[in-house]
Amino acid sequence: MQHKYMYMHQEKLLKMQNSLLFIFGEIWPVTLYYNSTGTLARFWSNFKNS
């Protein structure tokens, strides 16, 4: 019984790690990319307007 519980706990930890990896691997670069393009676009429009 104890062994089964440990296995379930390990699986949960693995799932949590995978979701964290997903967040940092997939969503983080996307937000960084959109943030950088957003600032670039803002800078460019300010530059063109001046």
37 within some domain? yes
Q: How many domains does the chain have?
A: 1
pLDDT tens figures, 5-44: 777 888 898 898 888 888 778 887 788 887 888 887 788 8
- More confident: 1 or 17: 17
Three-state helix/strand/coil letters over 2-26: HHHHHHHHHHHHHHHHHHHHHHHHH
1 within some domain: no
Q: Is residue 12 part of a domain?
A: no
- On the question of pLDDT at 45 being above 70, the answer is yes
User: Domain limits at 30?
Assistant: 26-50
Residue 50 lies in a domain: yes
pLDDT band at residue 1, thresholds of 50, 70 and 90? low
Task: Confirm whether 16 is domain-assigned.
Answer: no
Q: Is residue 14 part of a domain?
A: no
Q: How confident is the model at residue 3 (pLDDT cuts 50, 70, 90)?
A: confident
Structure confidence at residue 18 (pLDDT): 86
Q: What is the distance between the alpha carbons of residues 12 and 20, in angstroms, rounded to a whole number?
A: 12
